[in-house]
Amino acid sequence: MTPDEQERIAAAELAAKDDFLANQHVSAYMSTIKVRRNETHNSLIILLGVFLALFTAGCGPSKAEREAKERERIELEERQNREARKANEAITDMNKKLGKKPPALDLGVPAEKNLNPFRKNRRA
């Protein structure tokens, strides 16, 4: 063996020994560390969750607010119905003045009995 090879082998052995000792030192230190189990942390999370649930449960609209919105919605619906009736009456009056017949109500039933929709009604 040449002196260079001997130096490299000695350096490698020394590095391996240093790594081994450092590993033993870290392992011994890590075994002395005690990990705390914080039970108050879990109870704090549970307490916070209960508080948040109670807080959000009371944040909705009150009964009076809900009833006021419902009354407002019903009034708006009634007003729209009145306006639609007035518009229909105005159209009917205009048609009467012009002499037009009001349109037939579509009740989903044909005006003439047509039992076979593919056959044309023929009247002589």
Within 13 Å of residue 40, how many CA atoms lie on the same side as its CB? 1
Q: Could you tell me the pLDDT band of residue 76, with boundaries at 50, 70 and 90?
A: very high
Alpha carbon distance 81, 73 (integer Å): 12
> What does the radius of gyration of the chain's CA atoms come to, in whole angstroms?
46
pLDDT of residue 104: 63
pLDDT of residue 117: 58
pLDDT of residue 78: 94
Q: What is the mean pLDDT of residues 55-66?
A: 76
114 pLDDT more than 60? no
The domain spans of the chain are 1-31, 63-100
pLDDT of residue 102: 60
pLDDT of residue 95: 81
Contacts of 32 (CB under 8 A, 6+ apart): none
